Each structure stands twice: as structure tokens, then as C-alpha cells.
Structure 1
Amino acid sequence: MVDKKSLSERDICSKYITPALMGVGWDLHTQIREEVSFTKGRVIVRGKLHTRGEQKRADYVLYYKPNIPLAVIEAKANTLSVGAGMQQALNYAEALGVPFVFSSNGDAFLMHDRTGLSDKTEKEITLDDFPSPSALWQQYCQWKGLASTEAQHTIEMPYYDDGTGRAPRYYQASAINNTIEAVAKNQQRILLVMATGTGKTYTAFQIIWRLWKSGTKKRILFLADRNILVDQTKNNDFKPFGAAMTKISKRQIDKSYEIYLSLYQAVTGSEEEKNIYKQFSPDFFDLIVIDECHRGSAAEDSAWRDVLSYFSNATHIGLTATPKETKDVSSIYYFGDPVYSYTLKQGIEDGFLAPYKVVRIDIDVDLQGWRPSQNQTDKYGQLIEDRIYNQIDMDRILVLEKRTELVAKKITEFLNASDPFAKTIVFCDDIDHAERMRQALVNLNPERVQANRKYVMRITGDEKEGKAELDNFINPEETYPVIATTSKLMTTGVDAQTCKLIVLDQHIKSMTEFKQIIGRGTRINEDFGKYWFTIMDFKKATELFADPAFDGEPVMIYEPKGDDSVVPPDEEDLDGETLESGEEVGGTCSDNGDYGDDGEINDEEVNSGRIKYVLSDVTVHVIGERVQYYGSEGKLITESLKDYTRKAIRKDYSSLDAFLRTWSNAERKAIILNELIQHGVMLEPLAEEVGKGFDAFDLICHVAFDQPPLTRRERADKVKKRNYFTKYGEQARQVLETLLDKYADTGIENIEDIKVLTLDPFKSMGSPSELVSAFGGKSAYMAALHELEGYLYA
């Protein structure tokens, strides 16, 4: 008779839970997935180093079809209760969007029904009474309101499989399924909100693929607002559509295709004959997917909206990272509440997006202001208006050349101290500012510019040379350009996977624009060592992180108006958002023709009526500089590495005694250290501050519990003075003394592993088996090692 209490959690799974599932019809190969890791683990940054936190991993996820998860099961050892894993399982089920949740210790199941359709939310069932796939599927369809055979056929259609094993991430799967379910229920306007860098285009492809393959939607139009985005989409994620797909251009269209990709600008125009889309009948398309739908399509009076109105009978799916919600413009008013949202905060927490640290730099003239002397003129002889100029005026009305040089100097210092070839975007107020910043950076990096003149480039909409380098900048394989100065061109649609530094020397009032700019750095690229990025802020733009709107659910505040209440174009910013009184923009991207023939933004400076005073002799200084890290709650925190470490350790160990007990009882100290690393404690940068000669044990005791630290060498010498080795034979004594020296040099983790006996200088003493035999066998050797550790940490 098997003693269940002695079985491991894995044994409980293999001997009781899996057989129970298979016994009621769950297929082991297609419907049961065990140990499913569905997040990557949050990237935690301190100093110049990073680590990853814990992944979320479900013991079981059950699928009706490979694309439809129905249930989560959390298994526990039999020493725990049946429901011991329920709260953990509910956490996973909420993330995965599954309605049925189970916990088991091998005796029975505790079932939690999130649909609200059962008499009891939770009930205990026997192992033999686990629900069959068809039973849970029927309940699922009832919960989702998918009663018809046609609707069920639509949502059962599988993903496109390219044979490489690539599958949608859990949040992409939820976004795809929620969207397809909405279409299956004949919802005509659908909004999908996903943070920049989370794979909106791949998600859109899988949505379109499944709707197209199921026959639910036969002719589909994908609209984007950048030529580069349409081409990237066609050549990459949408490639499997093959010969069924075409790109619309400004000429006679071919109606024989099924999947159409187009720029808004390619199908609209101010003159009637330019409206290519009217060559299609209004009922030609039955699905339109609008990428970056927060842009023109959010405004009722836009030319882009005309396209959607013409094809009003089609289903419209809007994709965006930043829904536009103002009193004058609303994504939600048109598309409805999002069927799924995945925020930057969630992406960072899951480890799919890069966290950031903020270097906030305050300059004296920005905060204290500057006033001209009586009748002072600028370098061009203009009389300067007598008033106090402060941060909002810098680079827009008042240009201080030494301020530009100071910003460029801080950027250069940062890159030299970290990585001089880290891709960097410097956001400036307008094209003139971007050009001055380019010059200042060139002058501060003469050797790098001499090696390659493209080390620094201005990439703005007015200049072909710079725009031509945009593809090279975003290509991880290309070294140059390294630094791009810009104003508006690179705020959106630039997939800069390896961008490690974003510099904000721009006045940013629009939350939409701010979120788009931050999105330029949020992609992770492990192949090129990009796990996090830095934001260097000179104009207090990062104060917008504290705004609840930054990572909250979009809320509609739109006030519908009559046809005569249209926002004048010159009062709109990049995305049509009304500016504060007296503000001017560095570049526009309205729906009134601010695009080139290729559909790219022309971020020309809008300088109507604005005078710029330029001064070369005003001295400026940095008066404040601080580093803020992305905290576990999604907020920026300003604290020292020591303070952060103390908090992290005390979450796990409330007292010094608690830590010492755990440390002394641990079979391997490395296990404790690995757990602390998983919780965000990084010992390497801590050793840089406290001292490199200290053991991890001493770093922890010193920083978290205020104990005076000993170096590893001091601990080793104390053990040697005890002279307890005399009870061992000569070879065993030599091994222990060498282990002590190894500990003093490299730390406890390296002597705990028996493989250390295969390395120098142990190799010269004998083979590992001979050295272990000197103690009387492996168990005796391990006992001697634990005794040595006991003396080390006495």
C-alpha cells in the first residue's frame, strides 16, 4: 500500500491526477498540458545588472481545442488539504481567462466555477467525478453566449501553425479568443488594447487567419498609417496569406484578392478621384482591421473615418496601445469598450516587456528661470522680450546653446559609462532643436563620428538623408546610426528592439504621445542583451508616470457635438489631441495632409508667429540628479540599493533569527541565494557598494539586519585557527583546507557542489573518487562539508 503522505507533488500528479483526467476522456497529448510556464518572470534592474523574477507556472492547463483553454489545476502534496492550491490556481485562471479552476492533493478535487452558472461556486468532487471535456465545453459556450453551431465553428478554428512550435503568448491568446468570440456573436465594432511591443500585428494576423479560414470573414482590409508598417506586416507576420493577399496602391485596384493591406493615405484624398476606396462597393469587405486606431479614425471629422463610414456594414476591429479619450475625440465611443486590454504594467510584470529606470536631471535655468537684462538682444540682434523664461520656454522660445551642450554632455557621459553603442533616441521640441542637438553630440564625440559619420543622425520628416537611416537604426544587426535626434517622426511605429536609452528634452503634454514615446524602449531582445532601458528626462516629462491615466483602463469622457463643432487643425497635436492654451507643436500629424507621398509623417516645425531668441553666453548648471527604478507595484521608486535590498530580504525573513535558522538548516546555501535572486535581491551590485570581499551571508546580515560583516578571508582564517581538522587524515585535511581557500576566493556556492573536486587545485591531489574516499565515502564527505559550513557561520 502506497503511503500518499510520503509522495512528492509530482508523484501525486502522475499517480492520481493525470489518470483521473484520462479516465473521463481528456486526451493526454492534445488536451492536457503539464507544468505550463506562461510568463517569463519580471526583469528586475539594479545598478547595471538585472535578474528575472519567478515565472507563473500552472501544474495543469486543460484545453478543449489547442487554442481554447478551459481549466487550470493546481496540485499539492498529500500532506496539504484538497483546497490548498485554490488561491494560487485562481490567480493563474484569472490571467489565462479560464472559467474552471481546480485544486487537488490526490484525494479529491476542489472545483471553483467562475462562470456563475453553478449552484455553488466551490464544491469538492471525487477523483472519478472530474468533468469531461464535452461537459466543460458546453458550460463554456453557455458562459460566453455562443449557442449557435456557426459561432462554435468560428471559435474552434485553430491558429496558423508554421511548424516551428511558435504559439501565441497567453495574453495574445486571450486577445485573439475574445475578439473572435465577439465577432462570432455579431459584434460589429471591437476594440483591442495592447501595449507597444506585445505583438499586436501577430495577434491581428491570427485573428484574421482564424476568421478567414473558418469562412466567417471572406474579404478583409488591414489599414495602417505608415508605409513601413504595411510593408513589414505584408512581408513578416502576414506572409502565410501568400497569393490571397495584396497591397493597395494609388492606381486601379484588383478585386480578385481576399486579404488587402493599405495605408489610409493610399485610399483617401481631398479630391474625389483620389478616393480609391470608392472603387470597391460598400459591401466588398466584411472585416476591416485598423492598426493604431487611436490616430485619425478616432476623430469623427477625419478623412480616415470616411473610409470606415463607407464600409460601415463590415466588422471593424481597432488595435491600439493608447486609446484616444478626450472631450473631442474617443476610440471607445466608436469601437466600444475593449474586449481585452494588456497594459505596459502587465507586460513588465510578466517579463515580456522591458522595465525602465529614470534618470531625472534638473537644470538651474529651467527651474529657477532666466530674465534678460534691460534691452538685451540675442546673438542675431533680436530684442528679447522682458519677462522670466522657464522650462516651458526652453528650446521653443528661448534657445540657450550652453543648455543644449549640457544635455548632450550628460547623454555622452551616460553612454561612455555604460555602452557607447547603445541605440539612443533623443526627443527634441522641433526640427531646429533636433539639429542643434545633433551638432552638440557630434562635437562631443569626435572620435566616434570620425570612425563613422552616422554615429549621430537627425531623423526627422523633413530630411531624406536622415529618414533613409531609420531602417538601419531599428535593425539590431546594424551598428549605425547609434544616436538619433528627432522631434515627432520616431514617436510611433518605430520598432526599435535594441533601443536602450530614451532622452526626453521635449515638452510632452499629451498622454497618448508620452505612452507612444515610452513604447520605443519597451521591447526585449535577449539575443542582443536588451532587457531594460533608461529614460533620461530633462523636462519633467516623466511626471506623467504618476498620472492614473498612464496605466489605467481607458475611460470615455467624450462629449458628442454637432457637425459645426470641429476642432481646428492648428489646435491639434500629433494625434489630434487638443493642446493647452498658448501651446504650439513641434510637428503635426493631423488628418489634413501632413503626410508625404509614402505615407510617412512630415514632422515639420509648426512655428507660426513664434519668435525664438538664441543666446550663446548664458551659463547653465545641473542642480539635481536622481535615479528612479521601476518598482514591483509598477511605480517609480527612488531609493538606494541597500534600502531596496533590506526591504526585499525582510519580506522573506522578518528577523535575523529567522534568516539564521533557515541558513543553518539549508542543505545547500545556493538554494536560499537563488530564492532571494528570484525575489529581486541582486548580490553582485550590492557587493560593489558594501565590499567585494564579503560573503553573500555577510552582505545579507549587514544590509538587512545591521550586523557587522566579516570578509570571506576573515571567516576562513577563524576556522583554520580552531584547528578542528586534526581528527581527519592527511588527505582529507588537505581537501578541507583547500575548500576553505576556495571559499575565501569565490564564495560558498562554489564549494557546495561536489564537482569542485574535478577542478584545480583538487585535480593534483587525486581523482574525485579518491578524495571522497579519504573521508570514508560520499555521505561522510558531505557531512564534513556541512560541518565546515557550520564553523564558517558559527
Structure 2
Amino acid sequence: MRKDKLSERDVCTKFITPALQEAGWDIMSQVREEVSFTEGQILVNGNKVTRKKSKRADYMLYPKNHPNLPIALIEAKKNTKPLGGGMQQVLEYAEMLDVPFVYSSNGDGFVEHDRTVTDGKRERILTLDEFPSSEGLWERYCLWKGINEEQEQIIAQPYYVDASGKSPRYYQRIAINRTIEAAANGQDRILLIMATGTGKTYTSFQIIWRLWKSKVKKRILFLADRNILIDQTMTNDFNPFDDKMTKIKKRQIDKSYEIYLALYQGVSGEEDWKNVYKQFSPDFFDLVIIDECHRGSAKADSAWREILEYFHSATQIGLTATPKETKDVSNIDYFGEPVYTYSLKQGIEDGFLAPYKVIRFNLDRDLDGWRPEQGKRDKFGYEIHDRVYNQRDFDRKIVLEKRTELVAKKVTEYLKKTGRFQKTIVFCVDVDHAERMRSALINENADLYSRNHKYIMCIVGDNKEGKASLDEFIDPESTYPVIATTSKLMTTGVDAQTTKLIVLDRHINSMTEFKQIIGRGTRVNEEYDKYFFTIMDFRNVTNLFADPGFDGNPVKVYEPGKDDPISSPDDMDTNPDNEIIKEKESNYKPYVDDVDVHVSVERQQFYGPDGKLITESLKDYTKKTVREEYRSLDDFIQKWDEAEKKETIIQELLEQGIPLDALQEEVGVEYDIFDLICHVAFDQKPLTRSERAKNAQQDTYFDQYGEKARRVINALLNRYAEGGIEDIESMEVLRIAPFTQIGSPMEIIKVFNGKQKYLETVHQLKKRIYSA
């Protein structure tokens, strides 16, 4: 067969793979083909969830004895394409994967792009027999990185692989490798930034494992700020350390272990804290890992920092999803610039994290404020101070009980519409507000609460019953509690994988705290149908999404030596396991029960393809986006008609960030996607699905079919009228009523004289549906 007639796979098999073998690459151990390294971004349309295609490298090459480190990528193309036709695509992959040597080939040779070259010729053309050897690329890599033989032994230490074969995701691999390389090069302060839900603890374990196994670090201390985190870590990710590992408890120090885990508070929480960690010599630990290092360890004058400075000779690695950079607190000042950052935006684009939508409520009393009439008294008879109270005052300085009831009502309405057993966290101003919110939600959900009193729980630091239910709330297998009201206890470190609704009913001034709260919903759990989450915002908190600092790299603004340091709210509570309410004012907080509160504005916002919320009107965004892709109505109709499956066009619209389910709700659920787009983007009068189905039903083309076939055709049209075009494009529709009453899928297909004839009938059916 002529070379220009070969498929892309044939080009790989006949030319690229033999060229690698000829260059000395071991195909079995050093070469991986068709490697998918992302999951594919999650796209949500109503109750249907799909994914974009995952990103996939045609070839990923590993140097000898270095299974942790992909060193080269090859993108293959058909021979009809230019030699370097795949270079731009594979360069994007190489940047994501942190791979230095990049190749494109159409079977005639290779174009090489050397990302290690900073001053000189980066690209060159190679013949098939000039592809570099594994040793040659490794030598160039070591020269670039400045790696000597001793450091190479550290870098070569393999990951821990369990019985299931689990290995690090691509971004975890980069984080681990960069940290190992930094440690091997003698860097003693290292910062990693990884979004909540991306596996920081697992990444920590692999870093420790490789440094420990290579005997570079023999005694390691892992510090976290939650007891539950320590226990989960020991049971799950750190389990392979087994009897080499221990948890430091107060006044129970055993120096025979190699891996130590401890609470910050466990070694610094009481007056005799120095007696705990000073039982170890300053050089006892070779490595200290600080989880959630944005908290107390970021403050130069904190007791936690004193622990780190005591063990100053150890390599110290800080991990956080939310680095803190304020005038008096700095992670960068202590740890240095991050060696790697993996953001929420990247996680959502890759499909490892869940996207979100926002429902914002503006309440009339929040917008206009409220001033009591002269002599006004609260429900307990105390006189209310005469002033204008605004949104920031509510629940902190004054309570409008009907405001709390309205929030509970709106939350319940949403849950009744979308599913009443979705794990929900309601963030409140303080413990008092969390308790009152719990009561208001019970009144709105009396039916489910009467079945199980744990349906709604207040989970705060000073409530033993609620706090004891935290483990049950975060357990995906536990149905109850369903709704948790809280203040600060659940803002960080709570691995609630199935949380689908986050309710914000308190002001958040700290970007760090905001990121932590949003992180409660970002985990994906396919087993429990958790692919996305919703944020209900009653305090305009989600304005912070527009702040460049939300998903950008941290900028150092630390000003050491300030006489009057400014603390952000999440610095106030240094012991999140023991929530402390610090009132700035000791004045009585009035409780007002006779002031009505109403919703003035309710608006949905959606996660856009650029990683930002779509803030313009849904119709305007749809019109602009569609017209960027399709020049005219005729162009759109032509593409729609040409699509073998209309679902392909629907998928493309979703990938462009158009929330089609919300658009249907706004314009009319009775309209087809085709009519929605024609109407919103090109100002055409829409037809309902029922009207289109009726028109198609009257078409004389189907008169040629027998009675049983006509029954199937009519059932397909009815199905289209009810659900849309995607329903009839799938043959799975034949497995449900009313088709099952006509016959089995095989029997129905026989009525049309085979599968091909059935599919042709569906094609003709779609053609007539859209002929108007």
C-alpha cells in the first residue's frame, strides 16, 4: 500500500516504532503508546453529564531506569500531513507534562523541538534513522538540569505502586519530581500549591516514600492541623509505612520510629508545648512536611513557625491549595517561590475536579438596609439601637429572623427541585447563626427530619453531637447527615467528596478562606454520581471569583517589621477543632421576628470555557458565542443538517460554555436545542418539539412502511417530543417503554430489515423533523 494511503496508526506501526527500536529504545519498558493523561472536562446539561475528549499523547518515552520521568513525546500524523504537522499540538502537551524533548512525524522523518535550549536553535529535522537514543536524551537532560550521579540515584527511586496499580496523575508526578529534584539539589525550603481535591496527601506520601527509600531522608515529620486528617492519612495514603510510622501524642514520645505524624496543636497547643517537640533534638528529623501551610505556619511570630525554626536543619516542604500572601503573612517569604502550581482552573479543564454554577440572591433588606422605628424593641423586649443596619450587620450585630427563614426556604426549594439527599453545607456567620439556620431548615424539611433527626445537623466546634457527626457527613456511604450548618469548622481539611451544594450566608473577606470553602465541593466522585456542584450565594461572596487572585499565581506582598500587622479572618481561629467565637463588641445582639424579607433578584451564573463565571445575560452570551462559530443562520442550519448525529453539535455548544439546560428553562423547555439556537442567536421564531413531531408525522414519506414499523416511528416521534433529539439518536431507546411493548430491540430492527435500514429510517425521520 502506498505510504500516503496509510492511516495514522499504520504510520506508527510501520515507521515510527521501528525507528525507535533502531535507536535502541526498549519498546516494552521505555515506550508507551496512546497515553491519556487527563479525564476530559465535565460538561453538564440538565441531568446529563458528558466529558470532552481526554488529552492523549501518541508516544511517551522514558529513559532507562527512570520509570518516573517521561523525557520525550511524539505526535504522529498521516503521511499526507506535513512532517511537523503535529508540533503545535504536542508542544501544548509537553508544557503540561513538563517534558523537554518533543517530536512530530508523518513517517518520513521527525521534527525535533528541544525545550531545554534557551539560546540557539530549538528545532531541527531528523531522518528516521537519526532519532536520538535513550542515553543521548538522558545525557542532554542531566546537563540541562545539572544532575550528577549521586542526585541521579535519588531521582531514579520509583514510586510506590499498590496492588491496584494506582500511580500518580500527570500533575502529581510533576509535583513529586520537581520536589525530589529540588531536595536532591540541596534546596531546604520547598513550596507546592495544589488545588483542593487534587491529592496533596497522596503526593506527600510519594515524595516521602521516594526520599525515604533512597535513604536520603531517614526520619520524617508530617504536620497537619486536623486530628481527622492525621487519622485518615495514616489509614489511607500513608498505610504502606505500616510499623515504621507513629502518631505523636502528648508526652508519649517514642524515638524508634521513622515516620512521625502530628497535629500542630499536638506539639504547640498548650503551655508546655516546648516540652513535647524539644524532646527531639533539632537535627532529629531530615524532612518536615507541612500540610495546609497557609495557616499558622505562615505567620512569622506563631508558635507553629517556632517548631519549624527549631527543626531548621531539616528539608521543609509546605503544601497548600491557598498560599497566603498578605502584608504580615507570607508562605513565599519562608518557603520560596512554588516549585509547582496546579490550580482549580487546570483541575476543572482536565476533568479531575468538578465544575460549578452559582445562584445569587439579592434580598431587599440586604440591598436597602433596615432602620428600626423609634422605640422599636426586639422579641425579648430589649430596645434596638437606632441606626441603619446593612447586610454586614445581619446575624453578626442584629438578627432578622425572617431573613434566616427565607434563606432556609430557598435552599429547600432548590433541594426539592434537584434532589433532597444531596450533601449540603451551609456556611453561617457564627455558631448562633448556624444553630438558628439548623432550626429554620428543620421547619422547612419537617417530613424528612421526622424520619431521621440527622437529616439536618449543626456541625460546629463547640457542639459535641454535631461535631461527632462530621465523620458520617464526609463518608460517601453514609446517607446522614444530609445538610450541615456550620461556621468555620468545615472551611478546610474536610474531605466531603459528595458535597453537591454549598450555601454562603456570611461575609468572607479572606481569599484564602474563600478558596478553602469552594474546595469543599470540587471533588469528583463518579461512584456516587458527583460530577458538579452548585453554590448558593446570599451575601455577594462570589464576587471574589472575579478577583485575579482567585486562580492566579501568588504574588509576594510581605512587609516584614510592620508595627501594626493586619490579620485576615481565618488567622483568628488558631484551633479549628475548637471553634472560638471572638466578638469585637460585647453589646447585646437584638433578635427581630416581625420584619419581612423578600428576594429582590435571583440570578444564575455558569462556569465558562475560560475558567471564569459567565456574568452577562444567558441570551447575550449564547448569541455572541454561536455567532463566533457560525457566520449566519444558513451556516448553522447547514452544519446541523450535515451532522450525522445532532448530539455532536449539542456537545460542541456545551464545550463552548453554553448551559443549554438553563437556556431551555429561560426560553422554554418545550423547544428543541435547534430552535433555541435559531431563536436566541438568529432571531427566528421557534417551533415546539410537539409541533415538529406533528409535522413529521404527517409526512407522506412514511406511508411506505408497514403497520408495526409505523408504530415504532410514531413512538420515536413521541419520544422526541418529550425529551429531544438525543433520545431517538441512541438505539438504547428501544430498550424502554413503549418500544418494549412492540418487541425486543432485535425484533424491532428486523421489522426494518436490519440495523442499517433502521438507522436510515431514523435519519429520514430527523430530516423531516427539521425540514420546517
TM-score (norm 1): 0.89
SS in 2 for 1:275: helix
- Residue 370, structure 1, aligned to residue 370, structure 2: yes
Q: Equivalents in 1 of 2:133, 2:189: separation in Å? A: 35
Partner of 1:31: 30
Q: Equivalents in 2 of 1:265, 1:535: separation in Å? A: 32
Q: Equivalents in 1 of 2:416, 2:746: separation in Å? A: 48
Q: Equivalents in 1 of 2:691, 2:394: separation in Å? A: 56
Q: Equivalents in 2 of 1:427, 1:612: separation in Å? A: 20
Identity value in percent: 60
- Residue 115, structure 1, aligned to residue 116, structure 2: yes
**Preserved contact between residue 20 and residue 128 of structure 1 (Cα < 8 Å):** yes
**Preserved contact between residue 45 and residue 661 of structure 2 (Cα < 8 Å):** no
Q: Equivalents in 2 of 1:751, 1:639: separation in Å? A: 34
Q: Report how far residue 372 of structure 1 moved.
A: 2.2
Q: Report how far residue 111 of structure 1 moved.
A: 1.3
SS in 2 for 1:324: coil
**Preserved contact between residue 609 and residue 657 of structure 2 (Cα < 8 Å):** no
1:268-279 pair list within 5 angstroms? 268=268, 271-272=271-272, 274-279=274-279
**Structure 1: tracts of 5 or more residues without a match:** 577-587
Partner of 1:6: 5
- Residue 620, structure 1, aligned to residue 574, structure 2: no
- Single out whichever of 633-642 and 281-290 deviates more from structure 2: 633-642
Q: Equivalents in 2 of 1:534, 1:503: separation in Å? A: 8
Partner of 1:58: 57
Partner of 1:286: 286
Equivalent position amino acid for 1:358 in 2: V
Equivalent position amino acid for 2:105 in 1: S
Select which of 607, 611, 625 maps to 1:630: 607
Q: Report how far residue 661 of structure 1 moved.
A: 3.7
- Aligned CA-pair RMSD: 3.0
SS in 1 for 2:71: strand
Partner of 1:580: none
Q: Equivalents in 2 of 1:177, 1:768: separation in Å? A: 57
Partner of 1:43: 42
**Preserved contact between residue 328 and residue 567 of structure 2 (Cα < 8 Å):** no
- Single out whichever of 10-19 and 332-341 deviates more from structure 2: 10-19
- Residue 589, structure 1, aligned to residue 573, structure 2: yes
SS in 1 for 2:392: helix
**Preserved contact between residue 360 and residue 602 of structure 2 (Cα < 8 Å):** yes
- Single out whichever of 621-630 and 381-390 deviates more from structure 2: 381-390
- Residue 129, structure 1, aligned to residue 103, structure 2: no
Select which of 705, 716, 723 maps to 1:742: 716
671 and 508 in structure 1: CA distance in 2 versus 1, 3 angstrom threshold: closer
Partner of 2:70: 69
Q: Equivalents in 1 of 2:668, 2:371: separation in Å? A: 48
Partner of 1:469: 469
Partner of 1:95: 96
Q: Equivalents in 2 of 1:685, 1:322: separation in Å? A: 32
SS in 2 for 1:391: coil
Partner of 2:396: 396
**Preserved contact between residue 749 and residue 758 of structure 2 (Cα < 8 Å):** no
Q: Report how far residue 710 of structure 1 moved.
A: 4.7
Q: Report how far residue 143 of structure 1 moved.
A: 1.9
505 and 753 in structure 1: CA distance in 2 versus 1, 3 angstrom threshold: closer
Q: Equivalents in 1 of 2:605, 2:42: separation in Å? A: 15
353 and 411 in structure 1: CA distance in 2 versus 1, 3 angstrom threshold: same
SS in 1 for 2:35: strand
**Structure 2: tracts of 5 or more residues without a match:** none
Partner of 1:655: 632
Equivalent position amino acid for 2:107 in 1: G
273 and 52 in structure 1: CA distance in 2 versus 1, 3 angstrom threshold: closer
**Preserved contact between residue 430 and residue 605 of structure 1 (Cα < 8 Å):** no
- Single out whichever of 314-323 and 247-256 deviates more from structure 2: 247-256
627 and 780 in structure 1: CA distance in 2 versus 1, 3 angstrom threshold: closer
Q: Report how far residue 544 of structure 1 moved.
A: 1.4
**Preserved contact between residue 402 and residue 616 of structure 1 (Cα < 8 Å):** yes
**Preserved contact between residue 53 and residue 679 of structure 1 (Cα < 8 Å):** no
Q: Equivalents in 1 of 2:548, 2:745: separation in Å? A: 65
Partner of 1:104: 105
**Preserved contact between residue 492 and residue 517 of structure 2 (Cα < 8 Å):** yes
45 and 399 in structure 1: CA distance in 2 versus 1, 3 angstrom threshold: same
SS in 2 for 1:279: coil
**Preserved contact between residue 765 and residue 771 of structure 1 (Cα < 8 Å):** no
**Preserved contact between residue 267 and residue 273 of structure 2 (Cα < 8 Å):** no
**Preserved contact between residue 174 and residue 340 of structure 1 (Cα < 8 Å):** yes
Partner of 1:192: 192
Equivalent position amino acid for 1:395 in 2: D
Q: Equivalents in 1 of 2:745, 2:313: separation in Å? A: 83
**Preserved contact between residue 716 and residue 741 of structure 1 (Cα < 8 Å):** no
Between Structure 1 and Structure 2, how many residues are aligned?
Answer: 763
Partner of 2:555: 555
Q: Report how far residue 436 of structure 1 moved.
A: 1.5
Equivalent position amino acid for 1:182 in 2: A
Q: Equivalents in 1 of 2:446, 2:744: separation in Å? A: 53
426 and 771 in structure 1: CA distance in 2 versus 1, 3 angstrom threshold: closer
Equivalent position amino acid for 1:204 in 2: S
150 and 449 in structure 1: CA distance in 2 versus 1, 3 angstrom threshold: same
1:242-253 pair list within 5 angstroms? 242-253=242-253
- Single out whichever of 489-498 and 54-63 deviates more from structure 2: 54-63
- Single out whichever of 278-287 and 690-699 deviates more from structure 2: 690-699
Q: Report how far residue 235 of structure 1 moved.
A: 0.7
Q: Equivalents in 2 of 1:614, 1:772: separation in Å? A: 72
Q: Report how far residue 177 of structure 1 moved.
A: 0.7
764 and 34 in structure 1: CA distance in 2 versus 1, 3 angstrom threshold: closer
Q: Equivalents in 2 of 1:765, 1:543: separation in Å? A: 52
360 and 741 in structure 1: CA distance in 2 versus 1, 3 angstrom threshold: closer
Q: Report how far residue 706 of structure 1 moved.
A: 3.7
665 and 472 in structure 1: CA distance in 2 versus 1, 3 angstrom threshold: closer
**Preserved contact between residue 357 and residue 533 of structure 2 (Cα < 8 Å):** yes
**Preserved contact between residue 399 and residue 589 of structure 2 (Cα < 8 Å):** yes
**Preserved contact between residue 573 and residue 579 of structure 2 (Cα < 8 Å):** yes
Q: Report how far residue 757 of structure 1 moved.
A: 9.3
**Preserved contact between residue 360 and residue 537 of structure 1 (Cα < 8 Å):** yes
1:695-710 pair list within 5 angstroms? 697-710=674-687
SS in 1 for 2:513: helix
**Preserved contact between residue 400 and residue 616 of structure 1 (Cα < 8 Å):** yes
Partner of 1:307: 307
1:726-741 pair list within 5 angstroms? 739=713
SS in 2 for 1:290: strand
Partner of 1:441: 441
**Preserved contact between residue 376 and residue 383 of structure 1 (Cα < 8 Å):** yes
Q: Equivalents in 2 of 1:514, 1:465: separation in Å? A: 27
**Preserved contact between residue 51 and residue 677 of structure 1 (Cα < 8 Å):** no
Equivalent position amino acid for 1:501 in 2: L
1:152-163 pair list within 5 angstroms? 152-163=152-163
**Preserved contact between residue 743 and residue 750 of structure 1 (Cα < 8 Å):** no
Q: Equivalents in 1 of 2:643, 2:174: separation in Å? A: 41
Q: Equivalents in 2 of 1:738, 1:415: separation in Å? A: 37
Write out per-residue CA displacement over residues 179-227 of structure 1, whole angstroms, 9 at most, x where no aligned residue. 1110011100000011111110000000000111111111111011111
TM-score (norm 2): 0.91
Q: Equivalents in 2 of 1:116, 1:506: separation in Å? A: 51
Write out per-residue CA displacement over residues 65-99 of structure 1, whole angstroms, 9 at most, x where no aligned residue. 32101122222222221122111111111111111
Q: Equivalents in 2 of 1:557, 1:509: separation in Å? A: 17
645 and 761 in structure 1: CA distance in 2 versus 1, 3 angstrom threshold: farther
791 and 150 in structure 1: CA distance in 2 versus 1, 3 angstrom threshold: same
**Preserved contact between residue 347 and residue 353 of structure 1 (Cα < 8 Å):** yes
**Preserved contact between residue 426 and residue 504 of structure 2 (Cα < 8 Å):** yes
Equivalent position amino acid for 1:5 in 2: D
Write out per-residue CA displacement over residues 293-324 of structure 1, whole angstroms, 9 at most, x where no aligned residue. 11111111111111111111110000111111
Equivalent position amino acid for 1:589 in 2: D
- Residue 455, structure 1, aligned to residue 432, structure 2: no
Q: Report how far residue 664 of structure 1 moved.
A: 4.2
SS in 1 for 2:523: coil
